Amino acid sequence: MSGVRKRVAVLISGRGSNMASLIEAAADPAYPAEIALVLANRHDAAGLDRARAAGIAADAIDHKAFPDRPSFDTALDARLRAERIDLVCLAGFMRLLTPDFVEGWRDRMINIHPSLLPLFPGLHTHRRAIEAGMTLAGCTVHFVRAEMDSGPIIGQAVVPIAPGDSEDSLAARVLAAEHRLYPLALALVADGLARVEGERLVLDAELPIDRSGMLVAPAFG
């Protein structure tokens, strides 16, 4: 780990299950980031109570209290800067952020999406993957850009689609993969091992990768 732990804010809109996986990882003193703040755009977001129970500052900035997206994003940005936040993690944050906000946190804001981007950006990813006849699904952590679900990819996890999978059964397995992937990706960014050059990810470390391995679905033999 390099130097002082990075101060991370997690933005949520609902139950915050990925937020919880980040909080659990950051409970280890050796982890290169601390979850310093959880913000929601809804007062009834269940993840706020989960964060408070873990001893983390949690608050809501209700987007409905603002006349437009820019004014909401301005308030959000002001709170993050007042809390001396280094990195922002979107974890089920169901608001499109303005280009000015995204640019202000360029290469310091990451998101997790439940598909193997660039496939299936947006909503209903599991249903779309099944309807397309895919045999593999998964999730992606990426740096955030103004275009929805775009930006340099930090990491991905692959989940086979089983015959007879429903949208819900596939979603449950992908969510379990998300909970493993997000803490790993945040650690790379917080430790300064993952950076962006020319809109491509550069890793400043030799990570253990099985370059000969394959995941085949369906499995034969």
- What DSSP string describes 55-66? T--EEE--GGGS
Q: At 33, phi and psi to the nearest 5?
A: -140, 150
Between CA 49 and CA 51 the distance in angstroms is 5
- Strand positions, DSSP E, 120-165: 136-143, 153-160
Pair 178, 157: CB distance under 8 Å: yes
CB count in 10 Å sphere of residue 178: 25
Residues with a catalytic annotation lie at 113
Name the residue among 217, 184, 216, 218 with its Cα closest to residue 203: 184
Q: How far is CA 184 from CA 7, 191, 193, 195, 201, in A?
A: 16, 11, 11, 14, 15
Pair 18, 112: CB distance under 8 Å: yes
Between CA 194 and CA 120 the distance in angstroms is 24
Q: At 194, phi and psi to the nearest 5?
A: -120, 125
